Structure 1
C-alpha cells in the first residue's frame, strides 16, 4: 500500500460512430449507445475490500454504515472524471463497476483505461534494475458482457483480462485466502527492528497453498484494517494470484520498490502511461482461451498480490475510475 495520492470484429469506423451505436457482435446483436452516454463509471454493483491500512477510510466508514451504504460511497468515489478513489485492501478485495452503455471492443485499439494512483520511483538503489518500478499495486481485471440483458453480471459472463503474467509459472490460478477478524483485546506484538509497526501479528490469514501469516498494523493508520461493516469473523477471496512484485532494494527495509508488470493490470502504471489502457480482446475464459466479446458492460477489479512492503504496508490496489477510450476519442493501439 502506497501513501494515498489522489492523483474483434469491428472496423475503425466504429470509433467515429461510438456515440450512436457499437458494431455488431459475433451473435449479430447491435448495441445502441445513447447520445449522452458517460465515458465514465456510472454505478457500483458491489464493493467488498479485503483488509488493509486504508480500509474504513477510502471510502470513509461511519458507525452504522451498512454494506449497501458502503457501496453507495464507493460509487461516489469512482464515478465521473475525477473520482476520489477506493482501496481494495489485500489480495482478493474487489469492486464491481458498471456503465450506462456497452464499452465497444474495437479491433486493433485498447478500449478502456483503469485509473489508479501508481507512480514511478524518483530513484532506485538498485542501478541494475531492469523493470519499471515505484509504487505499483497490480489488480486483476475481469470483464462481463451483459449477453442476456438482465442488467446484472451473471457468473457465466465473467472473463479475465490475460495480462503479461497470465502464463507466468509463478502465477497461481484458483488461489484462495481467508482473513480472520482481529481480536480488539489481543495484546499487540512489537518488533524492535520495525519501529513503524504497532502490531506485527495483527490480522491472521491462511490460504489454500498451505501458507499462513499476519498482516501488520502500522503507526500511520490506527483505525481497524478489517471492514467494519462486515460482521463475519472471517472473510475469504478467490482468484488469480500474481507473483510478488515488491523488493527491498536497500537491503535493510528502508527502500521498497514495487515493480510494474508489462501490461494488463489495474493500478500497475501511472494513468498517463499507455499500459494503463486495456484491450477487451485480451479476455480469456477459465481454460485460458481467448473470447470474442462485442464489448463489456461490467468490470471487476481485485487486488492480485499477497505481499507486504515493510513500512509501506500491504500491496493493495486502488481504483479511481474507468474511462471509455472510444467515447473520449483516445486511440491507443493494442499490443502486437
Structure 2
C-alpha cells in the first residue's frame, strides 16, 4: 500500500469519526410551545386598557409582543392601552424556545364605544362596566336606532336587549356623573326566522265535542303521535285548526326565534276560528257570535335550553282575568242568569265516561250524564254528549281515568239571546285572548307588555319564545255544545310587518 493510499484511508476514517461525534453532540429541539387563551380579535374603547395574559404550554425561553411592527414588550403578559383616537392594530405575540418559534396574530380595534354583536330576534345580556359597581340608580337608554322594533329592559347594572332590524344601536348607561356608551351591532341570522309556529311542545285537550276529531285520533295513537299530529296542523304558514276541548284544555307552542316585545305595539297573534253573529236580536249589542276565549301564557328561554320550563311562565292579563264587570256584555249575561264569576285559582277534574252508548235522544242530547266533573269550588255535575258528535269526547290516547286542569276560569260569555235556547251569542272579551275575535281584527293581537307574574304584578319582558293557550271558559251553550277554544296559525306581527297599537 503506497503512502498516498494510506493517507486517503486515514483521512476518511478521521472524517467518519468527526461526523459521528457531531451527531452524538447535536442539540435536540424542545417541544414546541403552545399559546392559548387569546382571541384573534378584540375591541377596546379609546383610552381604556386590555390586559392580555396567554396560557403557554411547554417550556418557553422568551415571549415577545410586537405592535404594528414595533417591539412593545418582552414578558409573559402585555397591557395594551388604546390611544385617544380610534384605529386598528396588529399585535404579534411570539414564543421562543430551543429550536422553535411560535406566533399568534391578534387584531385590536379601538373605538369610541363599548361594542357588542348579536343576531336579530335574539336576547342579548348586557352588563354595566366595573365603574358602576355598587351603584343603585343605573339608567339604560337607547339613544339611536335604525328603527323602533327593539326592546331594552334593565335591572340596575344589567339589561336585556333584543331587536328585529339589523343595524347599529347606541345605548347609554349612566349613574350620576358616570356614563358609558355601548354600540350593539345587530346582524341577521344566517337562516331567516319564520314568523310562524315552529314547534309544539305539549298538548292535552279537556273533554269536548271536537276532541279526537281536531286532530283525528286513530286507535293506537300515543301522546307522542298525537303531539306530532298537532305540530303538523299548527306549524308554518298553512296551519289548520285544533281544538282545546272544554275548560282547561291546552297547547304549548314555540317559535324559532324570540318575538320582540316592542313598546306600544301588539307583538303576536294566535289565530282561532271566532266570528261574529249575523242576526243578534239585541239592539246595539257589542261584538259577539262564536267567541271562545283562550287564556294566554308566555315565556322566554331564560336558561337557553330550547324548551319552556315551569318557572318561566307569565300570564297575559286579558280584560277579564280579574273579573268581567267592565265588559260591555256583562249586564246582559247577568240578566240572562249566566255564571259571571271569575276564579283565579280554579281546578276542575273530569272523569272518563262510564259509557259511550247513547240512550234515547232527548232533543240534542245523546247521553245526559256523560262525563262527570267536579271543581275546587264545591261544584260538580255532568257534561252531556250531543247528537251531532258521536265519537268519544275523552282524549283517546290518555290512559288515566281522570284529568285535572288548573288555571283561571273566566266569566261565562254565552247568552241565550232568543230566550228559548235557539240562538246563543258568545260575546267577545275586550282584549287579551285567543279565539276571541276574528283573526283579522286588531283585538286578536297580543301585547307582551300585558304580562303579569303569579302574584298579579306587571313584568317587563324583552320578548318571548313560547306560548301556552288554554280554554278559559266553562259553559254549555245548549245545542251549540261547550265553549271550546280552537287554535290555528301563530304569527310574529313584527316579522310580518303588521303594526297594531296596544291598549294600556
Normalised TM-score (structure 2): 0.61
Task: Trace 1:90-239 onto structure 2 (pairs within 5 A).
Answer: 90-127=246-283, 129=285, 131-168=286-323, 170-184=341-355, 188=359, 190-191=361-362, 195-239=363-407
Counterpart CA distance in 2 for 1:25 and 1:156 is: 19
Report if the CA contact (8 A) 2:361-2:387 is conserved: no
Change (3 A) 1:100 1:253: same
Counterpart CA distance in 2 for 1:117 and 1:102 is: 26
- Alignment equivalent of 2:450, drawn from 269, 282, 292: 282
Could you say which structure has the larger radius of gyration? 2
Report if the CA contact (8 A) 1:180-1:234 is conserved: yes
Report if the CA contact (8 A) 2:151-2:263 is conserved: no
Q: Higher RCO, 1 or 2 (CA under 8 Å, sep at least 6)? A: 1
Counterpart CA distance in 1 for 2:146 and 2:248 is: 34
Counterpart CA distance in 2 for 1:319 and 1:105 is: 22
1:4 corresponds in structure 2 to none
- Alignment equivalent of 2:419, drawn from 246, 251, 272: 251
Change (3 A) 1:252 1:281: same
2:219 corresponds in structure 1 to 63
- Secondary structure, aligned partner of 2:224: helix
Counterpart CA distance in 2 for 1:52 and 1:325 is: 31
Instruction: State the shift of 1:145 in Å.
Output: 1.0
Change (3 A) 1:306 1:149: same
Instruction: State the shift of 1:85 in Å.
Output: 1.0
Task: Trace 1:8-87 onto structure 2 (pairs within 5 A).
Answer: 23-26=151-154, 27-31=158-162, 34=189, 35-87=191-243
Report if the CA contact (8 A) 1:190-1:200 is conserved: no
- Alignment equivalent of 2:410, drawn from 242, 246, 251: 242
Counterpart CA distance in 2 for 1:224 and 1:79 is: 26
Change (3 A) 1:324 1:12: farther
- Secondary structure, aligned partner of 2:226: helix
Counterpart CA distance in 2 for 1:76 and 1:14 is: 38
CA offsets, 1:152-197, max 9 Å, x none?
Answer: 2111110100010122173211100000000126663753xxx111
Change (3 A) 1:180 1:163: same
Counterpart CA distance in 1 for 2:405 and 2:219 is: 25
Instruction: State the shift of 1:125 in Å.
Output: 2.1
Report if the CA contact (8 A) 1:190-1:197 is conserved: yes
Moved more, 261-270 or 169-178: 169-178
Change (3 A) 1:285 1:325: same
Counterpart CA distance in 1 for 2:423 and 2:358 is: 29
Change (3 A) 1:190 1:65: same
Report if the CA contact (8 A) 1:82-1:320 is conserved: no
Counterpart CA distance in 2 for 1:237 and 1:331 is: 35
Counterpart CA distance in 2 for 1:28 and 1:189 is: 65
CA offsets, 1:111-165, max 9 Å, x none?
Answer: 0011000000001122253x21100000000000111111121111101000101
Q: Specify every segment of 5 or more residues in structure 2 that has no aligned partner in the other structure, as ranges.
A: 1-139, 163-185, 325-340
Report if the CA contact (8 A) 1:15-1:326 is conserved: no
Compare the two structures and name the one with the higher strand fraction.
2
Q: Specify every segment of 5 or more residues in structure 1 that has no aligned partner in the other structure, as ranges.
A: 1-8
Counterpart CA distance in 1 for 2:390 and 2:274 is: 24
Report if the CA contact (8 A) 1:91-1:305 is conserved: yes
Report if the CA contact (8 A) 2:196-2:235 is conserved: yes
2:130 corresponds in structure 1 to none
- Secondary structure, aligned partner of 1:214: strand
- Secondary structure, aligned partner of 2:457: coil
Change (3 A) 1:162 1:189: farther
Counterpart CA distance in 1 for 2:143 and 2:471 is: 33
Normalised TM-score (structure 1): 0.90
- Secondary structure, aligned partner of 2:159: coil
Counterpart CA distance in 2 for 1:15 and 1:93 is: 42
